[in-house]
Amino acid sequence: MIEKARGLVPAEARIIVEPGRSMTASAACTVYRVTTVKRGVVTHVAVDGGMGDNLEVSLYGQRFEATLVDRAGWGADVTVVGRHCESGDQLIDGVPLDNPVVGDLLAVPVTGAYCYTMSNQYNGARRIPVVFAANGDARLVVRRDTWADLLARDV
């Protein structure tokens, strides 16, 4: 691949490969808890995260898919929105979910490359934890921000 690229760019160009998504995205998912379901012409499913832990959607229109953890499958198309009450805090538009209700867990796969590294404390939200899971075991590797972490820089 590098050889093909080298033939297309000037000799003095430096080629840098950034494999983020191809290496990590399929190994990770973000799990949200459904906090509100507002049914109408469009059903909005609000979750306990959003643009504070997934800026890819609002920054450059990345498309994600999702499913309910305990009942994957097709249902009516819904719009998944975050907790920040911003017009840009829409995580997924038009994803089929099987009758979502408050308390459901929503899995958003292929989020391993950038969601954590771009997470922030927007609107006073605490940064997300990271859990590694394999073969039925799980372990915390990055803890969620505490309230003290959120306020630590205030003077």
The closest of 131, 107, 105, 127 to 117, measured between CA atoms, is 127
Distance in angstroms (rounded) separating the CA atoms of residues 148 and 35 = 24
Question: What helix, strand, coil percent values describe the chain, rounded to 5?
Answer: 15, 30, 55
Please give the distance of CA 4 from its chain centroid, rounded to a whole number: 33
The closest of 94, 113, 89, 110 to 35, measured between CA atoms, is 89
SS3 3: helix
Distance in angstroms (rounded) separating the CA atoms of residues 73 and 142 = 31
Q: Which of 23, 85, 131, 142 is catalytic?
A: 85
Active site includes 85?
yes
Residue numbers annotated as active site: 85
